[in-house]
Amino acid sequence: RWFRKAIGFALLSCAALWSKQHALFLGMIPFVLVILQRQWPPLASLRLWIPAMIFGAAAALLAALSLPFGSTGVSQLVDDVDVSWFKAVPWHNLLFYVGNLPRSVGWVPVGLLVATLLLWSLRRFRRDPRHDLYIAWAVSSFFLLLILGPYEDRYLFFVYPPLLVIAYSVIESASG
């Protein structure tokens, strides 16, 4: 049963990756989930590694197939990577995305996000295991945006759905 689910996740995430390369974050979600839940045994399990290997092979194949075309679509990091890049690009991208959030989505959603974060920081909302998958999704997709060379507001598209689900859940819990 687990094998079918693992293969299903691998194949669907591979299809997403091949249709939109920013879906590379999908490969990180299971690992971030392990860290969030602090359940380390999956790191030694084939349940985690089989889909990761299939996904990694699909990403490598996509990169190899794009080589004759100048790596178009998969060369989104930078050509010359040195130590200063690791400091400059993530910091620049973080400031860009946080600074442009009100312009991208408007002040009302930003206000709701801030309210959600404030409510969530209260002790009784601190840890809800139902949010783990959505947190892993948001963290993985935003981490990828931080390390990419190019940056644009529209790249936040993959971060919005999990944040909306978490916001709704937290606000609903606070009101009831």
In the predicted model, what is the mean pLDDT of residues 3-19? 88
Residue 164 confidence (pLDDT) above 70? yes
pLDDT in tens, 78-121: 455 565 666 678 888 888 888 888 888 788 877 877 777 777 66
Question: What's the mean per-residue pLDDT of the chain?
Answer: 81
The 3-class secondary structure across the chain, one letter per residue, is CHHHHHHHHHHHHHHHHHHCHHHHHHHCHHHHHHHHHCCCHHHHCHHHHHHHHHHHHHHHHHHHHHHHHCCCCCCCCCCCCCHHHHHHHHHHHHHHHHHHHHHHHCHHHHHHHHHHHHHHHCHHHCCCHHHHHHHHHHHHHHHHHHHCCCCCHHHHHHCHHHHHHHHHHHHHHHHC
- At 170 the pLDDT is 74
Greater confidence (3 vs 78) lies with 3
Greater confidence (53 vs 22) lies with 53
Residue 2 confidence (pLDDT) above 80? yes
- At 3 the pLDDT is 87
